[in-house]
Amino acid sequence: MSRSFESAQRVAIIGGGPGGYDAALAAAQLGAEVTLVERAGVGGSAVITDVVPSKTLIATADAAVAIAGAGDLGVQLFAKGGDGKPLKPQVAINLAAVNKRLLALARQQSDDMRASLTEAGVRIISGHGRLEGPGAVVVSTGLGGTDFDRIEADTLVVSVGASPRQLTTAKPDGQRILTWTQLYDMQTLPEHLIVVGSGVTGAEFASAYMNLGAKVTLVSSRDQVLPGEDADAAAVLEKVFARGGMSLLSKARADLVENTGTGVVVTLSDGRTVEGSHCLMAVGSIPNTAGIGLEDAGVELTASGHIRVNRVARTSVPNIYAAGDCTTFVPLASVASMQGRTAIFHALGDVVIPLEQRRIAANIFTAPEIATVGWQEKDIADGSINGVVRKLPLAANPRAKMMGIKDGFVKIIAREGSGTVIGGVIVGPRASDMIYPIAIAVERRLTVDQVSRVFTVYPSLSGSITDAMRSMHVVERAGEDEN
Ligand SMILES: Cc1cc2nc3c(=O)[nH]c(=O)nc-3n(C[C@H](O)[C@H](O)[C@H](O)COP(=O)(O)OP(=O)(O)OC[C@H]3O[C@@H](n4cnc5c(N)ncnc54)[C@H](O)[C@@H]3O)c2cc1C
């Protein structure tokens, strides 16, 4: 329901990704006069180059895996050859069609989001925005920055996102040395893709292209893929990568990447070289915060250029808020959206629940997926929190057996004594959906017994969540829990 202020608050937002988009919708809902400035397309990198294209590509890779693995379930595909004898068809990927589909899907999503903003009454200005002090945004709208608009506002939200980090010794050329935004021009599957960087982005693309049928080498500067993530989950992924034929070069730093005209050569810091057809550079992002007037407006930045924000997304300047990848918070689309809404609720005086990092559910879209929420086993190991851990392999789950799922597990982390659920990890297909009950338990501070009293369907993968929690039962004397 919309609420009108006596004289409408003026809200200006720079950046139309998930952070800016949700801030704009929330502000319009609260009756503010809202202007959103966007230089590329509504939906931002999340929709145009990052989340939507990559997850659509991964959906195709998952389909290819399902078809290739269907034989284990007794599904056999045959066609008749010219001599009447059966031929076994092979799975082939039409990458041009896959990329065409994912780019169209991204465009459509961007158009839908633009339409939702317009319908909500948000004024959208296409152009490059920068702050003019703490009370106005100047937008260059013409080609070459010749025409200008000036928007005065009571509240400003900066949600300008981030761009792929580029190394001078491995400059992306859009042909063979690529950032993740340049992958979708490829018309055929790369013969041999070298992925530099084994964080979330590198691991997701390495997994996807391997499952689409490309030869993949993953160059990781650490001793495990997905540094900082659950070690058991990373171990499962490494096993699956090795089984799929991926070469994993760990503790290997890429010093130089060269396009030879017919391929790429990656030189590692120990002198070794790896040759491939293409190289994907997945070495992190830098915030788009330079040259947009933040410092002049008094907004505090970190040494890396990220905007310092508190738990309600407020910057060091009281009427300037910031959301998403340009801030010091967790770089996820879901978080950017939540920050955008929280910023507006705080600025316009609605009820605000400050964001808490531990409550954020996150997923890595490899095959299998890896989803996490809350405190992790490493936090117990390093003494940050007291807790107990229970891990059940998915292979023991009856539904998983029926579906031919071999890899993955459910891990529950609970407080010692009370059994309050404080975290969890799920590795398996659709872990992104499976993590939800654990995220609710963490958010609502439910105990393992409260969660395991809820029925799960038999047989179901979610049954492993209650099985793990049942095995963590906290013994109470009868009559103590009357609820
Ligand atoms: C390959 C990849 C896959 C990902 N997958 C996931 C996923 O599955 N789930 C998930 O939650 N997160 C994922 N992320 C992270 C997610 O993309 C980001 O967290 C999200 O895009 C952040 O949203 P944002 O609003 O901060 O910025 P963005 O989406 O980057 O939007 C910022 C917008 O601001 C505009 N802009 C910048 N400067 C200006 C200016 N001066 N004037 C006007 N406009 C400007 C840009 O054009 C852009 O449209 C992924 C990231 C990558 C790289």
Kindly report the three-state secondary structure assignment for every residue of the chain: CCCCCCCCCEEEEECCCHHHHHHHHHHHHCCCEEEEEECCCCCHHHHHCCHHHHHHHHHHHHHHHHHHHHHHHCCCCCEECCCCCEECCCCCCCHHHHHHHHHHHHHHHHHHHHHHHHHCCCEEEECEEEECCCCEEEEECCHHHCCEEEEECCEEEECCCEEECCCHHHCCCCCCEECHHHHHHCCCCCCEEEEECCCHHHHHHHHHHHHHCCEEEEECCCCCCCCCCCHHHHHHHHHHHHHCCCEEECCCCEEEEEECCCCEEEEECCCCEEEECEEEECCCEEECCCCCCHHHHCCCECCCCCECCCCCCECCCCCEEECHHHECCCCCHHHHHHHHHHHHHHHCCCCCCCCCHHHCCEEECCCCEEEEEECCHHHHHCCCCCCEEEEEEHHHCHHHHHHCCCCCEEEEEECCCCCEEEEEEEEECCHHHHCHHHHHHHHHCCEHHHHHCCCCCCCCCCHHHHHHHHCCCCCCCCCCCCC
pLDDT confidence band for 420 (50 / 70 / 90): very high
Are residue 120 and residue 157 in the same domain, yes or no? yes
pLDDT at 466 over 50: yes
Q: How many angstroms does the Cα of residue 348 sit away from the middle of ligand 1?
A: 25
**Residue 343 and residue 328 share a domain:** yes
Note whether 28 and 150 are same-domain residues: yes
Picking from 357, 385, 402, the residue at the C-terminal end of a domain is 357
Q: 180 CA to middle of ligand 1, Å?
A: 13
CATH number for the domain that contains residue 133: 3.50.50.60
Residue 38 lies in a domain: yes
Range of the domain at 202: 168-283
Contact 332, 350 (CB under 8 A): no
Name the residue with the closest Cα to ligand 1, atom 37.
Answer: 160
- The reply to whether 327 falls in a domain is yes
| Whether residues 398 and 348 fall in one domain | no
Looking at every residue in the chain, the average pLDDT score rounds to 94
Does 451 lie in the same domain as 302? no
Q: Which of 252, 283, 314 is the last residue of a domain?
A: 283
Give me the pLDDT at residue 145, please.
60
CA of 44 from ligand 1 middle (Å) equals: 5
- 476 within some domain: no
Residue 95, domain member (yes or no):
no
Measuring from atom 49 of ligand 1, which residue has the nearest CA? 44
On whether both 19 and 152 belong to a single domain, the answer is yes
Does 482 map to a domain?
A: no
Query: Quick check: is 74 in a domain?
Result: no
State the distance from the centre of ligand 1 to the C-alpha of 174, rounded, in angstroms: 20
Residues 408 and 301 occupy one common structural domain: no
Mean pLDDT of 274-301: 98
Last residue of a domain, one of 230, 253, 283: 283
Distance (Å, whole) CA 244 – CA 238: 10
Same-domain status, 172 and 238: yes
96-126 pLDDT, tens digit per residue, is: 999 999 999 999 999 999 999 999 999 999 9
Q: For ligand 1, which residues put their CB under 6 angstroms from it?
A: 14-20, 37-40, 44-46, 50-51, 54-55, 128-129, 159-161, 180, 201, 288, 292, 324-325, 331-334, 336, 365
- Nearest protein Cα to ligand 1, atom 21: 46
Whether residues 19 and 143 share a domain: the answer is: yes
Residue whose CB lies within 8 A of the most ligand 1 atoms, among 125, 126, 131, 160, for a mutation test: 160
Q: What is the per-residue pLDDT for 1?
A: 47
Q: Where does the pLDDT of residue 80 fall: very low under 50, low under 70, confident under 90, or very high at 90 and above?
A: confident
pTM assigned to the model? 0.95
Which atom number of ligand 1 is nearest to the Cα of residue 19? 25
Task: Tell me, in angstroms, the distance from the centre of ligand 1 to residue 20's CA.
Answer: 10
Taking every pair of C-alpha atoms in the chain, what is the biggest distance, in angstroms? Answer: 82
- Let me know if residue 188 belongs to a domain: yes
Task: Among 51, 158, 163, name the best residue to mutate to test ligand 1's pocket (greatest count of ligand atoms within 8 A of Cβ).
Answer: 51
- 152-155's contacts with Cβ under 8 Å and 24+ in sequence apart are 152/10, 152/12, 153/10, 153/11, 153/12, 153/35, 154/9, 154/10, 154/11, 154/319, 155/9, 155/10, 155/11, 155/12, 155/27, 155/32, 155/319, 155/320, 155/321, 155/344, 155/347, 155/348
What percentage of the chain has pLDDT greater than the value 70? 96
- pLDDT for position 411: 98
Same domain? For 143 and 256 the reply is no
The tally of domains found in the chain comes to 3
Whether residue 220 contacts residue 203, with contact meaning beta carbons closer than 8 Å, is answered with no
Q: So what's the pLDDT on residue 76?
A: 87
Report the atom number in ligand 1 closest to the C-alpha of 49: 1
* Nearest-angstrom CA–CA distance, 231 and 381: 12
- Overall average pLDDT of the 421-427 stretch: 98
Q: Mean of the pLDDT values across residues 14-30?
A: 98
- Residue 483 forms part of a structural domain: no
Q: Which atom of ligand 1 is nearest to the CA of 323?
A: 26
Output the pLDDT for position 283: 96
Q: Identify whether residues 137 and 42 lie together within a single domain.
A: yes
- Whether residue 290 is found in the same domain as residue 384: no
CA 343 to ligand 1 centroid distance, Å: 17
In this prediction, residue 482 has a pLDDT band, given cuts at 50, 70 and 90, of very low
